[in-house]
Amino acid sequence: MENLQKILSEIIAEFIPNFMSVDEISRLSGGSSNESWKIDINTKEDKKILVFRRTPGGNLKDEESNNFVDIVDEAKVMDIAKDFDVPVPKILKVINHKDIGKGFFMQFIKGETLGNRIVNNEGFKIIRPRLAEKCGEIIANIHKIPISKFNNIRTSEAEEELLRYEEVYKSHNQYIPVFEYTISWLKDNLPKKIPLKLIHGDFRNGNLVISNEDLIPGVLDWELFHLGDPYEDLSWICVNSWRFNRIDLPVGGFGKREDMYLSYEKISNEKLDRSRLKFWEVLGTLKWGIMCLNMIEIYRSGFDKSIDRASIGRRSSETEIDLIRKIIIS
């Protein structure tokens, strides 16, 4: 930690005017694959807060994962997104350092990111009913980002996404009846192909900065962005795991589907197929269950012994209940 702080201080001095010292660095929770660090600094004028994103330990090669984009591309998409009215932190500097690896520094946005607090804290009671509409607006703007801005962007349509996660599931050598049935159901209900768009890939409660002043001043964790079915983003935020026990409010535990859908239709000028959304919500729930299996394996391997990995891993069984409810009961 001391060595990391020393290296970060040397780099920050290169792009922050009148930089004096780093007060404290602390790791933030969240992020599917990358680390986020909060950095409190002193300048001659005042105190500031920065966020530093990097691959775990600074040495994971992004290409070893088929799903996660190179962290430099994550910074690039965020920098471009702001030009399409998508609220994102300002990118301050991108690095590829011999000792701490690839990463980037970005602006710290004040607000709440913990989903449980967002759906339960009395302080957000007034704005919660407005968040679903705002999500629809932001997702529509994300889908306007031209794919021509990127080279070699990962593409994943419905069938490809399903087969990829089926392969990952089988690699764990576990037999989970609910997962087996869900995979079969999804194969029988594959949606027709539609034009693909750039999607966030992890748009959900927990990756959004919420504030009473600006509603959603920041969308975080772009490490899964890709070219895909736009319905994926609209359904992922409705997966029950992101509702934090508010199953009556499907959009992130704070809003209604129709509020988000209508807002998206207004901004995008496209009519949504409501039946198509169920497929992606079921697939999203299955994907999260399989991701949880991945998390516990990463923890067991010793590659990343953070408590986040272990606590997330145990949630795989919760998705089985969600899948039964979504496919059979609803």
Cα–Cα distances in angstroms (integers) from residue 230 to residues 143, 153, 169, 274, 276, in the given order: 7, 15, 24, 13, 11
End-to-end Cα distance, the chain: 49
From first to last of the 330 residues of the chain, give the pLDDT tens digit: 668 889 999 999 999 999 999 999 999 876 557 889 999 999 999 999 999 999 876 554 433 455 678 899 999 999 999 999 999 999 999 999 988 889 999 999 999 999 999 999 999 999 999 999 999 999 999 999 998 888 888 999 999 999 999 999 999 999 999 999 999 999 999 999 999 999 999 999 999 999 999 999 999 999 999 999 999 999 999 999 999 999 999 999 999 999 999 999 999 999 999 999 999 999 999 999 998 888 877 756 666 666 666 667 677 889 999 999 999 886
Helix (H) or strand (E) holding 302: none
pTM for the predicted model, two decimal places:
0.91
Domains of the chain: 2-107 (3.30.200.20), 115-329 (3.90.1200.10)
